[in-house]
Chain A
Amino acid sequence: MDTPVPTTPSHEIEPLDRMLERGEGRTLEFKATLRYDLRTNTANRDLAKVIAKTAAAFLNTDGGSILIGIGDNHTILGIDRDLTTLSKPTLDGFELALRNTFALHLGADIGPLIGVGFISVGALTVAHVTCPRHSSPVFHEENGRREFYVRDGNQSRPLDVRATHNYIREHWESQPLIGPEAVREAVASALQEHLAPLQSDALRSMILEAIRETLPAPIPAAEPSGDSPPWLKVGTHRVLDLFLAPLARSSGWKRLFLISPWISDIASETSLTSDQLCKRMQDDQTTAYIVTRPPEKDWHEAALARLGATGRANVALVPDLHTKLYTAETHSGSFALLGSANFTQQALANIELGLLVNAYADGRHVVTQLHNEAAQLYRLPQRRVIYHASFRMN
């Protein structure tokens, strides 16, 4: 192996061969490329997100280095293939692309703290990214969704709500945090209101219990009571996307229930538009059951007409409807969203509260019960059906 020559050393660098010998671990990660997909031999911008997540994990743990251009079995591949994907195929262009990725996913204030250097090995060049331990939590953000990563051995691992809270409390003890009691009270109070329309007491209790498990423990916590249920996700930002994003990713939509007092056309750049929703319903021959209030606004009526025109929707009008509940059965799994968000574009901008339940482990029973609730809401006696899904052999 040629002697590594740092081209832009900002501090003393551990020799490349020593890092390769040390192997991946708590403070070192190898990546083959920044965004050149070795399987398809094309540019794949999603690969860069993984590097941003790794950087976030290092920043949130004890710092560390990422070497880009190192393949399986520690083979030096170099970054030449990455350079071919850049409009400016130089080391400057590479660093720019890397820093843009960090700014986009970690924040403009974080990027400058990350060091980027290059190590020459013969004709090849390896990028060396150094991440210091950061003084406050760094979140990875993508499409409005924020995730918290830490380094766990040789992996970068996302933490759930409870674990994130506990980790932040332990890792940055001096950092002031929002009081968990205040969070619990606010969420519990909001949930009580939004669960009220549910018909089943047992289901209400089950969901409230589940949400209590997910929320951070009161301080002082006597003992951690275990991980939050993996089938539950709570959101307050772009809540409707909690449902639409997995729906967009799912294949084979079989049945949807959309229960919402107000329904408008939607255009979420991060999940689905109304056009895409209607097209998927037709392509997948989905049966949709839609329950909403009698429309008083043109936009509400237009949205229902568009859904009705697919020939895949049963639309029932129920005066005084207050429930917001969405369920989906797909080939990729079943899930349900319950909360405050109407099925409207405005709900994507509002501060809402939503609880996404996946049909996994104990969540399977909750989804089944929510599905039954939705089916009962479709059959409310005061309803008026204005569109029916068509049944056709072909």
Chain B
Amino acid sequence: MDTLQSWFGLKEQHNDFSIETDTDASLFFARHELNQRLQSILRRSFRSGSPPKMVLYGDWGVGKTHTMRHMEYVIANTDDFKATVVFVELPDIVSKSTFQVAHSALLDALGFERAKRWVVQFQARYSADAHDRIRALTQSGDIAGAFDNMLAYGEGSRIAWDWLRGVPLAAGDARLVGLPPGLYQSNQLVKVLEVFGRLSQEVDGKLLVFMLDEATKLDRVTNPDAVAHWTNALKLLADQKSKEVGFVLSGSWIDPNEMALPLQDQQVMTRFGEPNYIQLVSLDEAETIIFLNALLEEWVDTRSRAAILEAHGGEADGEAIAPTSFPFTKPALEIAARYTCRQGGITTPRDIQITLDDLLNRAIDDGRHVVSSRYISALVGA
């Protein structure tokens, strides 16, 4: 079967030109300035011991998820950035959904086993006053009690975990662990996240950074009480003065004025700080060429490229081919970039990948291994 992979000699792991946000997180094409800015924010954060707090926003396909995943990769692979990243997509929510939905998703991603390990080691280190330390941090005997119960045998440990996730308990379960039926207030939910941040620092010596993707779903929250709940939680998590946990959020808003109501709140914006609202913008034609060059060079297997050029080099119509342009000739790649940017002179990384698939699928149909400017000009009417 003639696939994109076999026809154009893509590396074994690539079926097409899609960039997977998790497995390809190490890659960051074209956006040198953005990359520098993010690295700078991370360096500043870790140097001062304050985990990063920021909002990434921009149009569909502009690369927000990939950017977050890349930040996660950079943090995990940079010795100076000692942090544990917990990445989660905001689950589907409705108009009355409170911050508890995100809170429980974040703790689910953190995981019961890791949380329990932290609590066990924290208790072992501060056996005499572990309870009091958590109580002092949260101003809540119930939250400190729930962390104590994380060490219980049998059901008690799981029940306490559920309570910390903000799940209402059945009356019998609540009695068993000696806790109120539920943990509802936004400031208490954030306190729980902060305790885990403290435990991460104490036990693993790493900061804890929560990343919440697909936050555009927050647009659906319209109930005033739910909006207030989110606003208060975000206000606390965004506060640059609070050093317990980092918080990075992303959503498909093009303009800050279009953001979900809690993110438009003046206090939330002030606490994140304007420089930490980072807009990801579309690529122009020159950036598109840089992106295409990087993508093609990374995706195509060197030996396969050489073999294909030896057999089919004549299809280049005498035009130069670079390792960063194959299977396009250099002039053909410029036309491909212009075609990709045909709407308003700009495009997004997602559109580049789809257009590349479409153009090269057509080249296979037409029996071409090398795309020359004559061929692509006829195809796109350039």
Contact = CB atoms under 8 A, between A and B. Distances in A.
Interface stretch (B193-201, B322-330, B357-365): B357-365
A40 interface: no
Given A254-B351, A255-B354, A331-B61, A393 B381 contact: yes
Contacts of B156: none
B350 interface: yes
B3 to A, nearest CB: 5
Contact of B358 (A72, A376, A389): A389
B60 A252 contact: yes
Contacts of A153: 168
B353 to A, nearest CB: 10
Given A360-B89, A375-B16, A331 B60 contact: yes
A117 B132 CA distance: 55
Interface string A274-286: 0000000000000
A329 B350 CA distance: 10
B2 interface: yes
Nearest to B18: A368
Interface stretch (A133-141, A178-186, A187-195, A379-387): A379-387
Nearest to A380: B1
Interface in B305-350: 338-339, 342, 350
A391 B380 contact: yes
B339 A391 contact: yes
B60 A379 contact: no
A72 B224 contact: yes
B375 to A, nearest CB: 11
Nearest to B351: A254
B1 A376 contact: yes
Interface size class of B (residues with CB under 8 A): 35 or more
Interface string A317-332: 0000000000001010
B380 to A, nearest CB: 4
Contacts, number: 71
Contacts of A389: 358, 362
Q: Tell me which of A72, A361, A379, A388 has the highest count of chain B C-beta atoms within 10 A of its own C-beta.
A: A379
B15 interface: yes
Given A254-B354, A329-B354, A331-B60, A388 B1 contact: no
A394 B354 CA distance: 17
Q: Tell me which of A230, A375, A378, A380 has the highest count of chain B C-beta atoms within 10 A of its own C-beta.
A: A375
Interface in A239-288: 252, 254-255, 287
B4 A375 contact: yes
A375 B350 CA distance: 17
A88 to B, nearest CB: 30
A340 to B, nearest CB: 25
Nearest to B60: A331
A172 to B, nearest CB: 19
Given A153-B168, A331-B60, A361-B89, A393 B3 contact: no
A48 to B, nearest CB: 16
Contacts of A372: 15-16
Given A254-B354, A360-B89, A368-B18, A379 B1 contact: yes
A357 to B, nearest CB: 15
A297 interface: no
Interface in A338-388: 360-361, 368, 372, 375-376, 378-381, 385, 388
B92 interface: yes
A385 B350 CA distance: 26
B203 interface: no
B376 to A, nearest CB: 9
Contacts of A252: 60
A378 B96 CA distance: 44
B162 to A, nearest CB: 12
B361 A314 contact: yes
B91 interface: yes
B204 interface: no
A388 B91 contact: no
A380 B365 CA distance: 12
A329 B15 CA distance: 17
Nearest to B359: A391
A236 interface: no
A325 B364 CA distance: 23
A22 interface: no
B255 to A, nearest CB: 16
B365 A388 contact: yes
B3 A379 contact: yes
A391 B381 contact: yes
Contacts of B364: 379
A155 interface: yes
A335 B98 CA distance: 27
A392 interface: yes
Q: Tell me which of B1, B4, B342 has the highest count of chain A C-beta atoms within 10 A of its own C-beta.
A: B1
B382 A155 contact: no
B165 to A, nearest CB: 13
A379 B351 CA distance: 22
Contacts of B89: 360-361
A393 B354 contact: no
B20 interface: yes
Contact of B3 (A72, A376, A388): A376
A392 B16 contact: no
Interface in A49-74: 72
B337 to A, nearest CB: 12
Interface string B369-382: 00000000001111
Contacts of A385: 365
Contacts of A287: 354, 358
A179 B339 CA distance: 57
B95 to A, nearest CB: 9
A27 B15 CA distance: 54
B271 to A, nearest CB: 27
Contacts of B4: 375
Contacts of A155: 94, 96
B1 A391 contact: no
Nearest to A50: B95
B380 A379 contact: no
B380 A393 contact: yes
Nearest to B350: A254
Interface in B54-91: 60-61, 89, 91
Nearest to A158: B94
B147 to A, nearest CB: 23
A392 B381 contact: yes
Contacts of B252: 331
A76 to B, nearest CB: 17
Nearest to B224: A72
8 contacts: A155-B96, A254-B354, A255-B358, A360-B92, A372-B15, A375-B15, A379-B2, A393-B380
Given A375-B15, A379-B364, 4 more contacts: A155-B96, A289-B361, A360-B89, A381-B1
Give 8 nearest A-B pairs by CB, closest first. A331-B60, A391-B380, A372-B15, A287-B358, A393-B342, A392-B381, A391-B379, A254-B354
